[in-house]
Amino acid sequence: MRLSSVEVIPYALPFERPYATARGVLEQREMVLLRVRDEDGVEGLGEAVPLSLRGGAGLALVVRELEAWAADQALEAEGLSAPARCAVSVARMDLLGRRAADEGGGEDEAVPCNATLVAGEPEAVAADAEAWAADGFTTFKLKLGAESVRTDDMRQVLRTRANRDVEQVRAVREALGAEVRIRVDANAAWDLETAKVRLSELEPYEIELAEQPVGTLEEMGELAASTSIPLAADESVASLDEAEEAAALRACAYTGIKLSKVGGPEEALRIAGVLPAYVTSALDGPVGIAAGAQTALSLAETGHPERLHLAHGLATQRLFAATIAAVGCEVRDGMLHLPPGPGLGIEIDEEALQAHRI
């Protein structure tokens, strides 16, 4: 496919309030919009979300890679970092979808989503969960393992962190009752022994799954044998090879898939053919969220359609104070609804994009 123009546009969106995880605190999310046009003027949009907090490619590297690809489209996308590959893959997918679509757009499509709760004091987390529940959400994801205090006594830090993790889960369960699903995500903050203790403390609260409690697949395999809580991979499964290793080790029951982590929708579906999967946001912008939702809809074509009861982590646009989309996905009734237009259906608000460029 010959492209007549390619734009690489780094931008950042601020959060409503700081987003705290075990890997750090973010005030805003830096991203890269990739906009391509073919010789007929048809546009395709892609997005890269650098994952530097997870040890991945940073913003500057992703921008350089995409600018190099823009200058030489014969450059193999496979040689790019995963976020850059994702942007190229999604832009091509969007362009093809817009070219192939009939006039008038498509039917309303939606995927079930979990609420994403920012770590904090238990009472505040429970209040946040109640607000999401009022909007129709029935699955809630809690970030655990984040430091709440810093003292000279590391033992006190660890005790405070442990108590806070359990108290947050207890507060949400007590506030919302037994019917809702609660999943937890430690972002590999725990060592193996800590994870065994922490999950045993959480077992009474009927946890749906624990995402990336420890750092390696080998540790997850040992942990899985010691807990009744199903484990899900995240950071440790970023490729088809790692998915196959996880399956061989019986390390996890599921894997969360971030498009910018694995390199785009095609690799995501290959991974989902090996491990039951749900699609999660890397705190994406509107283009990445729409691509994630379309990937989630495609999971019925993988080898594990029976696991489609799992909610997807794609309602994170609620965490932002701004957007660059004039037309985008809508979150309502616990579902993410895709826009009805061709391709991804995303339309950019040019003034907002200029305001958030970096």
* CA dist., res. 62 & res. 50, Å (int): 7
- Any catalytic annotation for residue 258? yes
Q: Look up tokens 């590959």; give the residue.
A: 85
Q: Extract the runs of DSSP E, i.e. beta strands, from the chain.
A: 3-21, 24-38, 43-48, 110-112, 115-117, 139-143, 181-185, 207-211, 231-233, 254-257, 277-279, 325-327, 330-332, 335-337, 347-348
Instruction: Spot the catalytic one: 141, 143, 196, 261.
Output: 143
Which residue type sits at 27? Answer: E
* CA dist., res. 89 & res. 249, Å (int): 30
- Any catalytic annotation for residue 143? yes
Burial (CB < 10 A; 0-12, 13-18, 19+), residue 293, is: buried
- Per-residue exposure over 19-40, b if at least 16 CB sit within 10 Å of its own CB, e if not: bbbbbeebebbbbbbbbbebee
Is 345 strand, coil or helix? coil
Maximum pairwise Cα distance, the chain: 65
In the chain the first and final C-alpha atoms are separated, in Å, by 30
* CA dist., res. 325 & res. 315, Å (int): 15
Instruction: Spot the catalytic one: 141, 196, 258, 261.
Output: 258
* CA dist., res. 43 & res. 51, Å (int): 26
Contact 55, 153 (CB under 8 A): no
Active site residues: 143, 258
